[in-house]
Amino acid sequence: MNRSEKFFLIVLMIFAMLFLTTLYMYKVQRSQLARMNMIVRAYELFTMGKYDEFSTLVESHQLHELRYLESNLKKRKFQELYSLGVSEFNLGNYAQAAEFFKQAAVQLEATDPKFAETVYLLSLSLIEANRTNEARLFLEQHTDLPDSPYKRKIIETLADIYKKQGEHDKAENILKGVKK
């Protein structure tokens, strides 16, 4: 192999390396662009209030950059559902209010101060919707909430249900536990 052939071979190898590097960078840039488009789409869904679609998109495409919005999302969902529940309760649509309060309660941790209030309003909605047994079961599951103004109301409501159902001893026992 003479010098000119070696030179052309070296030049050819350099161009091949440049081509492969360029191709690789193109694929990387295309992948990053697709990811950025997904992030933009997720932001659009979030700002339009399509929170379920937003969460699905963030999960399916592993958009870790947007996880901070998901923590705010539960608070927003809670506030929206809670407000709808209060509106329906005030309008006398107790069954619908109960459904909104159930969905709102799921958005909160049991230690959140608003949780006890939501449980209380849910139980009142169920009672007003003539679903007393469902209210009783729900209240029995939530008598161990942290101290709050609504914990006492929850226990008193449960005691009232017991009394209406003829279980006066249970009512007295649960009320004794509150007075301690």
pTM exceeds cut of 0.75: no
Average pLDDT, integer, range 60-68: 87
DSSP-derived letter for residue 63 is -
- Among the ranges given (12-21, 91-100, 163-172), the one the predictor scored with the smallest mean pLDDT: 163-172
Residue in 139, 134, 128, 135 with CA at minimum distance from that of residue 91: 128
CATH level 2 (architecture), domain 75-179: Alpha Horseshoe (1.25)
CB atoms within 10 A of CB 80: 16
Average pLDDT, integer, range 52-77: 84
- Among the ranges given (6-10, 48-52, 76-80, 145-149), the one the predictor scored with the smallest mean pLDDT: 145-149
Return the residue matching tokens 């005691």: 159
- Give the integer Cα–Cα distance in Å for 160 and 177: 15
Contact partners, residue 150, CB within 8 Å, separation at least 6 = 116, 117, 119, 120
Q: Which two tokens stand for residue 95?
A: 């069954």
CB atoms within 10 A of CB 99: 18
Residue 92 has pLDDT above 90, yes or no: yes
- Higher pLDDT: 172 or 146? It is 172
